[in-house]
Amino acid sequence: MDINLILEIIAAALGIAGVWLAKKENILTYPIGIISTTIYVYILLMGKLYAVSCINLYYTIISIYGWYAWTHKSSDNKPLEISKLSGKHQTIYIITATVLYLLLIGFIRLFKHSDTGYIMSGVMYVDTFTFSLFLIAMFLQARKKLECWIYWIIADFICIPFYIWQHLYFTAIQYLVFTIIAVFAFFEWQGKYNKSIGKL
């Protein structure tokens, strides 16, 4: 069996396990996620998929930050707990995701202007939109913000038909699993958040 295929299977399995552990608020989500995304960085670089490789590198770096944030107590000696964004911060992150999307569109048009198939097919718009959502989702997860799961759900769900369209059926199935886990994770974190509020 091809070594890259073996690595892809391992990375995908670890990726699903990492999302499940995040749902359970288990710190092992980060070391497992780091292994998965590091493998993907290698696989995608070998396949010359540089943009997707970059987002996996970002996941690796943010996972290190999230690992630190989840295991270190705050200045008031309390562990990081699930919380919600304020209305103001929700607006800030929506604007940030929009700005990231527009910047990525501009960047791709500037440096890939000769790749008209990518730009005109609509792939670019879906690719950059989900990319922007994933960037925000990963950061919010590292801060244990409930809304991270909303970003994951939207982006993962969009990826299902997108990867079917690209004839990457196993990847589409993986994102279907991600979407289902993310939906359950949202309600699980919501329940934990409600309990924590009830204790106050």
pLDDT of residue 20: 94
| 42 and 128 fall within a common domain | no
Distance from C-alpha of 180 to C-alpha of 153, rounded to nearest angstrom: 8
Q: Does residue 37 fall inside a structural domain? A: yes
Q: What own/partner pairs with CB < 8 Å and gap ≥ 24 does 187-195 have?
A: 188/23, 188/24, 189/23, 189/25, 189/82, 189/146, 189/149, 190/146, 192/25, 192/82, 193/82, 193/83, 193/84, 193/146
CA dist 24 and 149 (Å) reads 13
The larger pLDDT score, comparing residue 177 to residue 2, is at: 177
Q: Is there a single domain that holds both residue 62 and residue 112?
A: no
What SS3 class is residue 25? coil
Total Cβ atoms within 10 A of residue 120 = 9
User: Contact, 122 vs 158, CB < 8 A?
Assistant: no
Q: Are residues 48 and 106 in the same domain?
A: no
pLDDT surpassing 60 at residue 161? yes
Which tokens sit at 111?
């440096």
pLDDT of residue 1: 66
pLDDT at residue number 115: 52
**Of 73, 100, 120, which marks where a domain is finished?**
73
Give 157's pLDDT tier (boundaries 50, 70, 90): very high
Q: Is the pLDDT of residue 152 over 90?
A: yes
Q: Which domain holds residue 112?
A: 92-200
Lowest mean per-residue pLDDT among 21-25, 50-54, 77-81, 185-189: 50-54
For residues 180 and 41, which has the higher predicted lDDT (pLDDT)? Answer: 180
Q: Are 189 and 25 in contact (CB under 8 A)?
A: yes
| 28 lies in the same domain as 69 | yes
Per-residue pLDDT tens for 86-139? 999 999 999 998 998 888 778 777 766 555 554 445 677 787 888 889 999 999
CB 143 within 8 A of CB 69: yes
94: closest CA among 48, 150, 10, 146? 150
Higher pLDDT, 22 or 198: 22
The string of pLDDT tens digits covering residues 41-93 is: 888 778 666 666 778 888 899 999 999 999 987 666 678 899 999 999 999 99
Shared-domain flag, residues 55 and 122: no
**How many domains would you assign to the chain?**
2
